Amino acid sequence: MTGVQTCALPISSTISLVTASSNASSFSGGGLTYNNLTIAGGGSGSSQFFGSNTFNIFTINAPKTVTFENGKTQTVSSFVATGDASNAITIRSDSAGNTATLSDSAGTNTVHYCTIQDLTATGGATWDATDNCTDNEIGRAHV
């Protein structure tokens, strides 16, 4: 994917952002509700999310950098980001020092081998970011 990609496939959609290059991709969801979204591919290209959107299952596979618009909220039913020792994931706000929010009301969200910057987790779910994660905001109230 190159440039800005706009997608409007609400509720029953399954969206895959897959790139094997260093090109960036963008998702402008228009504040709609989507089903499952997966970010994958061996490339180093980043994925940026604009606006507040709702997803069923939001999955990030390594190695990826995912950036969320500061001041906006991505609401999920499940959030999974799984890196490994040689392929970490970076998850951050698009503005250093200004947070974006991930929200989930129940369950456990799992994040492994990730660098997390300027994100806040809300909604009542458990956010497990303890397995080889580094962060500048982490705590029980943060991702």
**Interval 2-16 mean pLDDT:** 62
Indicate if the pLDDT at residue 12 is higher than 70: yes
Instruction: Calculate what percentage of the chain has a pLDDT beyond 70.
Output: 86
Tokens of 126: 């458990």
pTM of this prediction? Answer: 0.85
Q: Using CA atoms, how far apart are residues 9 and 129, in angstroms rounded to an integer?
A: 30
| 24-40 pLDDT per residue, tens | 889 999 999 999 999 98
Q: Using CA atoms, how far apart are residues 143 and 136, in angstroms rounded to an integer?
A: 10
If one compares 5 and 76, the residue with the highest pLDDT of the two is 76
Dihedral of CA 15/59/67/43: which sign? negative
